[in-house]
Amino acid sequence: MPRRPRIDIIGYYHIINRGVARSNIFLNDIDKDKFLKILNETCKIYHFNIHSFCLMDNHYHFLLETTDENLSLLMRQINSRYAIYFNKKYNRVGPLWQGRFKSWYVYNESYLFTLVKYIEQNATRANISTKAGEDRYASSYYFISGKIPFCLKNSLCLRDFKLNELKNLLDVPISENDEKVITKIHSARFKKEEGGIIKEKNISLKEYFTDVHDKDSRDKNIIKAFYDGYKQAEIAKYLGLSTVAISKILRIYKEKRALFDKLKSKGIFWSYAKDISFGKLGEEILIEYTLKYGDFDDVKVAFAIFGKKRLKKVWKSKIISDKRFKKLNYFLARMFFDMKVEADYFEGLKNERFEKLRLLASKDKKIISRTYR
């Protein structure tokens, strides 16, 4: 049976990972220090925030906030780098982790702060320390000592609490009700949600599709409703579509995001902020940059996802008149757009961007001339 695909959306997550067969993954403090070093380095590369963590001998907990749709990517980096270190150091082979890491989407503030207590008091409940803040491998130690590592520099505990308030939060024992809240949410993820996202349904399906006038808008709202916790079957029934149709819309969306993640990892979006996400970038720019800077396989993937008509439209509006891409335009025209043209065809095309800049500069020059006459 194929495993359920993990969905990466921007937000807060409770992350747990254990050693295979519940074996120890940290044999001493040196191992834990190495893990924290990897965590800090990965945080700098993938731009996520750790709000709370606890390293136990055979597992760890994170309260992690992503700023991009890259949860699986960053967790793979952390786990694989540490597994390589551990296996090499202890001359062992085989998997270190017990399957995929577990993640639960944190969907409200009440659960968020219950989770901080739950993670920080792990060492206390295991009798490793007498109170939160004593264990050097739980984030409360750094909150209280003031020796803040890079991964915690944007922690909500540092940002939203004064020290006394934080100590009070950590000193209040986990109640039976807190345990029930966490257990309920964790178990609900595996029993009910197709995408593994636990989020309150604050609005009805009717409100998602009230103002939908075209297929693109409808598809965007299908994706939003799914990420907000509605099942594919629920959405399909409401819209009178088949579950296959809904599944196809979600699959294509995931393929677009995968293409974006691949190009971003190559540094292709160098002219944008490092924390740019697929949602902020938009499909048109993704297509433009794939055609300009992607390799042959990237372009083929883009054609399969978006179709020739869509790519040709973006090509004509964004790239074809740019003299810097004369050879590329010739290649795209002949190879992908079935145009029987020669290289000199692109010589006669006006560079629309250059013409706009020239006209604007000409107008500014006249204004300046009149002003200082």
Give the integer Cα–Cα distance in Å for 174 and 194. Answer: 30
Length of the chain: 373
Structure tokens at 205: 């399906």
Q: What is the pLDDT of residue 30?
A: 96
- H-helix or E-strand containing 54? strand 49-55
Query: In this predicted structure, what is the pLDDT of residue 192?
Result: 32
Task: Report the pLDDT value the prediction gives residue 191, as an integer from 0 to 100.
Answer: 33
pLDDT along the chain (373 residues), means of 10: 57 91 94 96 89 94 88 91 95 90 76 83 80 85 86 81 73 76 58 41 72 80 78 89 91 89 86 77 90 89 91 89 83 85 66 52 52 45
Nearest to 349 by CA among 362, 335, 363, 333: 333
**pLDDT for the residue 88:** 95
Q: How far is CA 17 from CA 20, 36, 97, 231, 251, in A?
A: 9, 15, 7, 26, 27
- Phi (first) and psi of residue 196, to 5 degrees: 80, 15
Q: Is 61 helix (H, G, I), strand (E, B) or coil?
A: strand
C-alpha to C-alpha distance for 269 and 264, rounded to whole angstroms: 6
pLDDT (0 to 100) of residue 104: 82
The pLDDT of residue 79 is 95
Q: Residue ranges per domain, the chain?
A: 11-190, 201-241, 255-310, 319-373
Under 8 Å between Cβ of 168 and 198:
no
- Tracing tokens 């990892």 back to the chain, one arrives at 265
Considering only CA atoms, which of 229, 262, 232 is closest in space to residue 249? 232
Angle at 42 between CA 37 and CA 44, to 5 degrees: 100
Token pair in block for residue 81: 């780098």
Cα–Cα–Cα angle for 314, 317, 321, nearest 5°?
A: 120
Query: How big is the CA angle at 11 (ends 146 and 265), to the nearest 5 degrees?
Result: 95
Give CA–CA dist 181/349, Å, rounded: 64
11-190 topology per CATH: Alpha-Beta Plaits (3.30.70)
Half-sphere exposure of 270 (CA within 13 A, CB side): 6
